[in-house]
A and B are shown apart, each in its own frame.
Chain A
């Protein structure tokens, strides 16, 4: 046996043992990667939109937006309000979770007025809604790269300071 081969041959048993372990580790690694891909295909990492609905006596509100997003991605939140009875001065109140770490590219239609409450909520004034009328608000966002978190997002429909219906959801921003 040549000098160059002997060290390898001597350690062959150990090598084969390590090789078996290495194979198992490699297969486990591939399984983990496959798990990541399958999870991604099942929307675990975002950002397919889903719909949440809340009903009140005077109005219902529906939010169609993703609940899981990643930094840099653009997404749309579509908020539909249906008045069950006349609402004289409808307002949409968004909790700070809607805007923290997000860039609001556009809001369509633009609200008549836009103000902020003490707790950081943002208030869009819509105006009067007649019974049966549906109002749709589109918000186009982009996720800021430094905003990884899990936050609550509440949207409330109110009139003259009285809450009519409120919808809570949770948004996860992956790193």
Chain B
């Protein structure tokens, strides 16, 4: 019983941490992010299974995570409000060539970060961008003025 409860609590906790950490960290893994993710995984494993070496325990944990994942995706599919809580909402970073400073600040992004993403997508100037949107998966999608109109 306790192992299923631990799995539920840790799933909710990880979901909470992933939501408050922000999307920037999800999209760009630096070396320290990678190390922290590994350390977090190890800490979660210890809290989750503790001394349990059993196949039964592993089956319970995996089943619990799978059911929670299916359940949360179903709730997100059925209810828009829950989807925005679980996954967040897309955030506009550039509107008609102008950076939306408030949104950049909230997402801890600098204009240089946006410019870097633009260069990766062969976009030379902010003026060429109709919309830049930080998607829920942490990536930035750009819609160019010529292509968007």
Q: Report whether A41 and B51 are in contact in the complex, using a CB–CB cutoff of 8 Å.
A: no
Residues of chain B within 8 A of A47, CB atoms compared: 1-2
Q: Report whether B70 and A40 are in contact in the complex, using a CB–CB cutoff of 8 Å.
A: no
Main secondary structure of the interface of A (DSSP, over half): loop
**Which residues does A use to contact B, with CB under 8 Å?**
30, 33-34, 36-37, 40-43, 45-48, 70-74, 142, 145, 174-175
Q: Could you list 8 examples of A-B contacts with CB < 8 Å? A: A36-B60, A42-B1, A45-B60, A48-B1, A70-B57, A71-B54, A73-B54, A174-B54
Listed from nearest, the 5 A-B pairs whose CB atoms lie closest are A72-B53, A70-B54, A40-B4, A174-B56, A36-B63
Residues of chain A within 8 A of B64, CB atoms compared: 37, 40
Q: Report whether A33 and B1 are in contact in the complex, using a CB–CB cutoff of 8 Å.
A: no
How far does the Cβ of A144 sit from chain B's closest Cβ, in whole Å? 9
Residue in chain B with minimal CB distance to A146: B53
Question: With A37-B4, A48-B1 in contact, is A72–B52 under 8 Å at CB?
Answer: yes
Residue in chain A with minimal CB distance to B53: A72
Residues of chain A within 8 A of B63, CB atoms compared: 33-34, 36-37, 40
**Which residues does B use to contact A, with CB under 8 Å?**
1-5, 50-57, 59-60, 63-64, 66-67, 70
Question: With A33-B66, A37-B60, A37-B63 in contact, is A72–B1 under 8 Å at CB?
Answer: no
How far does the Cβ of B9 sit from chain A's closest Cβ, in whole Å? 13
Among A37, A48, A142, A175, contact of B56 (Cβ-Cβ < 8 Å): A175
Question: With A40-B3, A43-B1 in contact, is A33–B67 under 8 Å at CB?
Answer: yes
A48 to B4, CA, bound (A): 12
Residue in chain B with minimal CB distance to A29: B66
Q: Report whether A73 and B1 are in contact in the complex, using a CB–CB cutoff of 8 Å.
A: no
* Known interface pairs A45-B56, A73-B52; 11 further A-B residue pairs with C-beta atoms within 8 A, sorted by A's residue number: A33-B66, A33-B67, A34-B67, A40-B3, A40-B63, A41-B4, A45-B3, A45-B60, A73-B50, A142-B51, A175-B56
A160 to B53, CA, bound (A): 42
Question: With A36-B59, A70-B57, A175-B55 in contact, is A41–B67 under 8 Å at CB?
Answer: no
Among B3, B54, B70, contact of A30 (Cβ-Cβ < 8 Å): B70
Residues of chain B within 8 A of A36, CB atoms compared: 59-60, 63
How far does the Cβ of A147 sit from chain B's closest Cβ, in whole Å? 11
Among A30, A42, A45, contact of B66 (Cβ-Cβ < 8 Å): A30
A73 to B2, CA, bound (A): 11
